[in-house]
């Protein structure tokens, strides 16, 4: 179950970052869309780290 969830979330994350990349690419230059994609990746990684920390903290309580 965990592996399936990881694969689904990875696919959603990749689709989201790709969407940001191409949406900004249509409106701006190369540097802008690379920075936008990097910012989206940073936001997703931060969210994943926070979720992992929350899960670890919750698991230690039980």
Instruction: Output the pLDDT for position 29.
Output: 79
Residue 36: pLDDT over 80: yes
Q: For the chain, first and last CA: distance in Å?
A: 21
**Pairwise CA distance, residues 20 & 14, whole Å:** 10
Sign, Cα dihedral of 45, 46, 48, 53: positive
Question: Looking at residues 22-46, what average pLDDT do you find?
Answer: 87
Residues 6+ apart with CB under 8 A from 16: 40, 44
- Round the average pLDDT of the chain to a whole number and report it: 87
| Closest residue by Cα to residue 39 from 29, 27, 51, 47 | 47
Share of the chain above pLDDT 90, in %: 11
């Amino acid at each position: 179950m965990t592996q399936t969830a990881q694969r689904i979330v990875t696919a959603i994350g990749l689709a989201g970052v790709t969407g940001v990349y191409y949406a900004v690419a249509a409106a701006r230059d190369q540097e802008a869309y690379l920075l936008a994609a990097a910012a989206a990746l940073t936001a997703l990684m931060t969210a994943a780290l926070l979720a992992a920390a929350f899960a670890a903290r919750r698991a230690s309580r039980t």
